[in-house]
Amino acid sequence: MTPDEFRSHAHHLVDWMADYLENVEAHPAKAQVAPGEVLAKLPACPPARGERFEAIFSDFRSAIMPGMTHWQHPLFCAYFPANSSPPSVLAEMLMATLGAQCMLWETSPAATELEQRCMEWLRGMIGLPDAFEGVIQDTASTSTLAALLSARERATGYGANLTGLGGGAPFTVYTSAEGHSSIDKAVRISGFGSDNLRRVATDANLAMLPEALDEVIRSDLAAGLRPLAVVATFGTTSSTAVDPLAAIARVARRHGLWLHVDAAYAGSALILPEARPLAAGLEQADSLVFNPHKWLFTNFDCSAYFVRDREALIRTFEILPEYLKTKHQAVVNNYRDWGVPLGRRFRALKLWFVIRSYGVEGLQAMVRSHIEWAREFRSWVEAAPAFEVMAPSPFGLVCFRHVRPGLDDEALNRLNAEILDRVNRTGDLYITHTKLRGRYALRLVISQTTVTLDHVRKAWEIIRAVAGSVQA
């Protein structure tokens, strides 16, 4: 592709992109294809000779687009969003054009220094003390792994990196029954073993019980095990339950454990001063992760990892072969030493574009609206006799279900699963489900970049209409 061809295709694509974002609601929120349908449209062998871009783009529209779920649809209310915004997309375009690999300060000084500054901004924006230092990781899963590995190394005097884990008593890790599956993954990869992950009991609001945590730790200590770390959750994936961080921090400190806080989705709410009391005690954590790629309008991937003991993080990951030695390494951050991968994308650029485009107040206004609209949606559910709310909803997620007199939980589970399926087949709204204490709950998340209160009203209409039409 010549520079002139690139220019012309790029202009054309930007028009397509703007049209797409403007008319995203013309697409079904959830892809309406069957397994294998897209695959069948793709030739079994790659082309031997290069093809014209027009042909490639035309196939993108006819073969690929129908198989896409539209995550930027304002009524994509499933899972948690991977939200985005126009300034973030523009930054991604520049990043792709520069194609820089930002593993070391030297391999792009601006990428390193912008990342440092953006993480300082973000730290201030969420009210975290200056004692924390931040680094951008790809995902919360990677950040939580980094936290557990750092805890392991600090606890073994950086010895497990050298000699492995063999010998000593097993390390144990603690999270609530509602903790995310990435914690299970991290204990596997760290060499602790899933059997040594303790799932601590929760209260009526699905938040970890600190007394139960203390009890499990004591019983592990009595059994000769080595309690290592607690992963508390600020906003669980199922229901956005908030673990009591201050009480958990006291227990962790009493036993000398690393406290990591998984705030993957709800951490973005901490840009609102009024949300911070919910996270009281956070300042005592050893590390925190939250994903601007979930609720801060920054394209996936962008996960903000903050750690209090930067030395523990760097000593865990630093390896310095001759070919990576550089002149300035003592006075600059080399982020390849702050996590698992060596190679790094220039992710700070999109965060910078987003924070500057909206300003802190603009971002606060969006997040605040989402929380208000979730509260409003919740009030409609509460007022409807055929529905019930199933968990507290401090952020943008509401968990609820349709109810009918005379049906037991099992029948209601089946009925709500059928409602979910039918709602998602309309293409106008995409929601997902969870189970809370064995009961099937519909999850509606209001955190999309372009969602409005009118969209939320429309979602409620769709759900009510579908629920009314389903036979038990």
Helix (H/G/I), strand (E/B), else coil: 61: helix
Q: Which is nearer to ligand PLP, 139 or 334 (CB)?
A: 139
From the CB of 182, what's the least distance to ligand PLP, in Å? Answer: 5
136 binds ligand PLP (CB under 6 A): no
Stretch of 199-207, 258-266, 312-320, 396-404 contacting ligand PLP, by CB under 6 A: 258-266
Choosing from 83, 172, 182, 448, the residue that interacts with ligand PLP (CB under 6 A) is 182
* Closest distance to ligand PLP from the beta carbon of 357 (Å): 23
- CA 253, 254, 257, 261 torsion: positive or negative? negative
**Does residue 76 belong to the site contacting ligand PLP (CB under 6 A)?**
no
Residue 367 engages ligand PLP in binding (rule: CB under 6 A): no
d(CA 375, CA 456): 11
Could you tell me which stretch among 137-145, 160-168, 245-253, 393-401 binds ligand PLP (CB under 6 A)? 137-145
Closer to ligand PLP by CB, 236 or 450: give it. 236
- Cβ closer to ligand PLP: 83 or 334? 83
CA-to-CA distance for 162 and 156, rounded, in angstroms? Answer: 10
- Range 126-131 contact pairs with CB under 8 angstroms and sequence separation of 24 or more: 126/267, 126/270, 126/271, 126/290, 127/270, 127/273, 127/276, 128/270, 128/282, 128/283, 128/288, 128/306, 129/283, 131/308
Tell me the torsion sign for CA atoms 406, 408, 409, 410.
negative
Mark the segment that binds ligand PLP (CB under 6 A) among 24-32, 136-144, 362-370, 375-383: 136-144
Within a 10 A sphere around the Cβ of 124, how many other Cβ atoms? 13
C-beta of residue 268 within 8 angstroms of C-beta of residue 298 = no
153, two tokens: 């190394």
Check residue 416 for interaction with ligand PLP (CB under 6 A).
no
Per DSSP, the residues of 132-156 read: -EEEEES-HHHHHHHHHHHHHHHHT
Binding flags for ligand PLP, 271-310, as an x/- string (CB under 6 A): --------------------x-----------x-------
Measured distance CA(211)–CA(173) in Å, rounded: 16
Letters for 218-237 (x = contact with ligand PLP by CB under 6 A, - = none) are ---------------x--xx
141 binds ligand PLP (CB under 6 A): yes
Is residue 180 within the footprint of ligand PLP (CB under 6 A)? Answer: yes
| Residue 80 is a binding residue for ligand PLP (CB under 6 A) | yes
- Print burial letters for 21-48: b (CB count within 10 Å at least 16), e (below 16): eeebbebbbbbeeeeeebeeeeeeeeee
String of contacts with ligand PLP for each residue 259-278, x by CB under 6 A? ---x-xx-------------
User: Between β-strands 432-436 and 439-445, what pairing exists: parallel, antiparallel or unpaired?
Assistant: antiparallel
Q: Please tell me whether residue 178 binds ligand PLP under the rule CB under 6 A.
A: no
Peptide bond into 301 cis (omega under 30): yes
- Which window, 135-143, 161-169, 185-193, 464-472, contacts ligand PLP (CB under 6 A)? 135-143
Quick one: 104 or 313, whose CB is closer to ligand PLP?
313
Nearer to ligand PLP, 265 or 430 (CB): 265
Residue with tokens 């930007």: 14
In the window 372-411, what residues touch ligand PLP (CB under 6 A)? Answer: none
| Residue 139 interacting with ligand PLP (CB under 6 A) | yes
In angstroms, the CA 223 to CA 465 distance is 56
Binding site for ligand PLP (CB under 6 A): 80, 139-141, 180, 182, 233, 236-237, 262, 264-265, 291, 303
